[in-house]
Chain A
Amino acid sequence: MSLRPMTRRTLLLGTGATLLLGACGTGAASEKRQLGISAIPDQDPELLNRLYPAVAERFADATGLKVAYRPVTDYTAVVRAFEIGDIHLAWMGGLTGVQARARVAGATAVAQRDIDAEFHSLFIAHKDSGLRPFEKVDGLRGLAGHTFTFGSETSTSGRLMPQYFMRQAGLEQGELRGKPGFSGSHDATIELVAGGSFEAGAVNKQVWDATVAAKEVDLSKAVVLWRTPGYADYHWLARPDLDKTFGDGTRKKVLDLLLGLDGRNAEDAELLKLFGAKSFVPTRNSAYDRIEDVARDLGLLR
């Protein structure tokens, strides 16, 4: 009789330990040596979910590694996941790339699209807003007294550069009607402006062109006011420990794949079309120095 409490305790402890050990075993092993890629969610998640699994597959073919696309819900999350090493290669915007490099010393921009060296934002407006297209940056002063929405808070083409040009034109945020909105993505901005929720907005030119080409925006409702001067934007950013973790030459293999994408090859053309580009070109960290200055100026980078 005196043994009973003892055995019960042993049983409980034993069961607990077994459960714990079993749980430890399953989680750790499967994630090892899997190359994680991700991208800022700048567009309709459905489009991203078609594009990036295909990209992951091509990366896997090129490197012989297991590659997984980790979808995220906001721009900041990509930077965070890149910083802690859950993802090793990321399709960053200008600002998110600069933010990530500030958090991960030694991270490098490896490639951008042909359009990214001279990228443009568009200011768009609803037809009923009374706003008319203009030629010079000063024309942005006309937005005073109208409602306005940016894209994501840390979007380069949907927030950073538009805000920079608005400041250049001498337009204070307080002169807009109500507070500026943050739609979250370029597709959302287009919908909100075309739908009339906001009278004007700032949007990525490539996404606008793709939306117009797909006839998904009613051009009788939305007009382009002005195209901004060019600036450097999107790029693939690699963690410094990429080669160390996945073997020498991993970065080069990915870069070679990207630079070798050829519009005459059907499979490549499909991928390039989803990216909205004709080809990829090499790039350097220094290409984003201006973005960095603007980001510091606007308090988006410490």
Chain B
Amino acid sequence: MTLQLDAPQSPQSPQSPQSPPSVSATGRKPVSGRRVLLRRLTALVTVAGLLAWAADRAVPSGGELVNRGGLALLDDLAATALRPSLDPGFLGVVLEATATTLALALLGTAGALVIGLVGGLVLSDVAWSGALPWPVRAGRLVLRGALVAVRSVHELVWALFFVSVLGLDPLVAVLALALPFGAQSAQVFGETFDSAPDAPLRALRAAGAKRCSALAYALLPGTAPLLLSYSFYRFECALRSAVVLGVAGVGGLGFELTVSLQSRNWGEVWTLVAVLLALAGVVELWSNRVRSDVAVVTCADWSVGQERSRDGGRSPRGLSRSTRWSLALAVPAIGAAWWWAGLSPVGLASARTQDLAGRLLSDLWPPALPEGGLRVLTGAALDTVAMAVLAMTVAVVITLLVGPWAGRPRADRRGPAAWGRWAVWWPARLLLLVLRSIPPTVWAVVALLGLFPGVLPGALALGLYTGGILGRLVAEAWETMDLAPRESLRNAGVPRAISAVVSMGPPSANHLVTYTLYRFEICVRDTAIVGVVGAAGLGRLLSERLAAFDFPVVTGILLVSLLISFATEVLGRRLRRALRA
């Protein structure tokens, strides 16, 4: 891990293909070799220290790691894997739940896109054209802050709040998905608008077009492929999150999974897991196809907000049939989802909702400290950070082991070597799909069979899940890497192995570090979910206080997790920028 971390920090490392070469020429002071060594050492010591601290914090004081008593149950669990429940009644329930999950994910994504488009336009500079009056600037600042706050609270926590106001209503799931995802989309869309050429827009405005029509006809067509690509990526994420929301009692596959887990009906659990895998697999294949069709942007790029406009990309004109069908079906599909979920916005405006929302807000304020005061809160916060660090370690190990095999083999390979490569590619991709399609709550239940409650099972559960996502992101980034440096080294007579390591090593490490930092930010947020199942940290404290209806303390805990989220995000962004420059 250390090797990958320090390599890209050295200024001498080859630039990744998307960064302009001019930066190193103008923006950097010359650095001595001793300094580079010093920086590498610092990075190494920091990472090692962080890991040691997290491991020390996670290991229970008794020194026992594995709960040997529970291993027998794990055995039972594995034994039923080949005997999933195929009871027709249950299969009917599963089918309905699948439709509900799809519908909720679709509606959540649609809501997020509406928020994203409006928010993105407000946040982008290009839409305003010219100097802004101060109220607009102040408003935009407030909006930016609000969006960051909204997105640093986990979907599941949003869902728990909405359930307290709206009751068992499908709106809960849709809003819980739409709000944080919308906040994220607004930021990405704003950046996308700003990076688009603004000449057409200015021309239309100069010709006297109204602002709205000018935006609609000049800005949207140019950015549409990117927006579309991002929308499909969001839908994939929404599908995973819709399953996680099942814990909050929102219907769908997640709910059925929770019920089957509670009744320890492993046969049913396996059936549900199989359906989840199939669903996630199909949606990802389809979304991949559409994304590669409309714009050359991988998931990996979207997740860290990087846009590579490499060689102008593919022409957005030549949409394939599947993409055109997906677009034509989107609106009817949203209508159908609306009908299936029985969504009704009436609940939002009802007197009861206003009443309950007012009550919830007055319950939540002012924040308070939990019993035991600041000490307990700090302890939980440190546990959360330790859990996220360990989870990332697990994820990085998974990525290093599986990632290299999960990148699509290059098309120019031929012969038996290529077949072998394909034969490894499938299982590697499947393994990553399994890891990320099963919600972390389920991983946590499994981990709790073999480990004592605490930081470790939470870290393991989150690590397996995040490993599935990180592995895919990194593999996708790796498969689109520029091969030219390797080729020129080879042509210059450098041995194959050396040229591969020297040319591919640093940029691959750069990708790995970038995505690891990005996922770490999300991982911190995700510790809230495994807390619900009984792991340690702020999530645990949160679910405990929610169960006691101790809302002032809940606010206190949320504020602390907000603080941690902010800190990791700012730190992560800085490090990422330093690596990219």
Tell whether A pairs with B.
yes
Given A154-B547, A299-B548: A84 and B352 within 8 A (CB)? Answer: yes
Point out the residues of chain A lying under 8 angstroms from B60, CB to CB: 178-179
With A46-B263, A77-B163 already in contact, 9 other A-B pairs whose C-beta atoms are closer than 8 Å: A20-B345, A27-B343, A76-B549, A83-B164, A86-B167, A188-B262, A197-B70, A197-B73, A302-B548
Point out the residues of chain B lying under 8 angstroms from A80, CB to CB: 163-164
Point out the residues of chain B lying under 8 angstroms from A73, CB to CB: 246-247, 249, 255, 258-259, 262
CB of B262 within 8 A of CB of A197, answer no
Our pick among A46, A126, A178 for the contact of B453 (Cβ within 8 Å) is A178
Within 8 A of A (CB), among B250-307: 255, 258-259, 262-265
Our pick among A45, A126, A196 for the contact of B262 (Cβ within 8 Å) is A45
CB of B449 within 8 A of CB of A197, answer yes
A178 to B371, CA, bound (A): 21
A6 to B217, CA, bound (A): 15
A74 to B454, CA, bound (A): 21
Q: Interface residue count for B (Cβ, 8 Å)?
A: 53
In the complex, whether A108 has a CB less than 8 A from a CB of chain B is: no
Given A79-B549, A147-B69: A26 and B168 within 8 A (CB)? Answer: no
Given A178-B64, A299-B371: A41 and B262 within 8 A (CB)? Answer: yes
CB of A302 within 8 A of CB of B549, answer yes
Chain B's interface: helix, strand, loop or mixed, by majority?
helix
What are 30 contact pairs spanning A and B, CB under 8 A? A20-B345, A24-B345, A27-B344, A27-B346, A45-B263, A72-B168, A72-B249, A73-B258, A81-B168, A84-B165, A84-B166, A85-B352, A178-B60, A178-B62, A178-B454, A179-B454, A182-B534, A191-B73, A191-B264, A192-B73, A195-B70, A195-B73, A196-B69, A196-B72, A197-B67, A197-B69, A197-B73, A301-B548, A302-B548, A302-B549
In the complex, whether B452 has a CB less than 8 A from a CB of chain A is: yes
Within 8 A of A (CB), among B49-84: 60, 62, 64, 67, 69-70, 72-73, 76
In the complex, whether A19 has a CB less than 8 A from a CB of chain B is: yes
Point out the residues of chain A lying under 8 angstroms from B371, CB to CB: 299
In the complex, whether A17 has a CB less than 8 A from a CB of chain B is: no
CB of A185 within 8 A of CB of B342, answer no
A86 to B165, CA, bound (A): 11
Point out the residues of chain B lying under 8 angstroms from A187, CB to CB: 263-264
Point out the residues of chain B lying under 8 angstroms from A44, CB to CB: 262-264
* Chain A: minimal CB distance from B178 (Å): 16
A72 to B168, CA, bound (A): 9
Encoded as 1 (CB less than 8 Å from any B CB) or 0, chain A from 148 to 185 comes to 00000110000000000000000000000111111011
Point out the residues of chain A lying under 8 angstroms from B544, CB to CB: 153
A181 to B258, CA, bound (A): 18
A44 to B, closest residue via Cβ: B263
* Chain A: minimal CB distance from B261 (Å): 9
In the complex, whether A199 has a CB less than 8 A from a CB of chain B is: yes
In the complex, whether B487 has a CB less than 8 A from a CB of chain A is: no
In the complex, whether B226 has a CB less than 8 A from a CB of chain A is: no
In the complex, whether B550 has a CB less than 8 A from a CB of chain A is: yes
A5 to B210, CA, bound (A): 13
A187 to B261, CA, bound (A): 12
A86 to B162, CA, bound (A): 14
In the complex, whether A212 has a CB less than 8 A from a CB of chain B is: no
A85 to B356, CA, bound (A): 10
A218 to B233, CA, bound (A): 49
CB of B72 within 8 A of CB of A184, answer no
CB of B453 within 8 A of CB of A181, answer yes
CB of B453 within 8 A of CB of A179, answer yes
Give A residues with C-beta under 8 Å from B. 5, 19-20, 23-24, 26-28, 41, 44-46, 70-77, 79-81, 83-86, 99, 102-103, 126, 147, 153-154, 177-182, 184-185, 187-188, 191-192, 195-199, 299-302
- Shortest 7 CB-CB contacts between residues of A and residues of B: A27-B344, A196-B69, A178-B452, A197-B70, A86-B167, A44-B263, A179-B453
User: By CB atoms of chain B within 10 A, which of A74, A99, A192 has the most?
Assistant: A74
Point out the residues of chain B lying under 8 angstroms from A301, CB to CB: 548-549
Encoded as 1 (CB less than 8 Å from any A CB) or 0, chain B from 71 to 99 comes to 01100100000000000000000000000
A177 to B246, CA, bound (A): 32
CB of A147 within 8 A of CB of B67, answer yes
Point out the residues of chain A lying under 8 angstroms from B347, CB to CB: 27
* Chain A: minimal CB distance from B60 (Å): 6
A164 to B14, CA, bound (A): 64
CB of B167 within 8 A of CB of A84, answer yes
Point out the residues of chain B lying under 8 angstroms from A23, CB to CB: 338-339, 343-345
In the complex, whether B201 has a CB less than 8 A from a CB of chain A is: no
Point out the residues of chain B lying under 8 angstroms from A79, CB to CB: 549
CB of A45 within 8 A of CB of B342, answer no
User: By CB atoms of chain A within 10 A, which of B62, B335, B339, B534 has the most?
Assistant: B534
Point out the residues of chain B lying under 8 angstroms from A300, CB to CB: 547-548
In the complex, whether B156 has a CB less than 8 A from a CB of chain A is: no
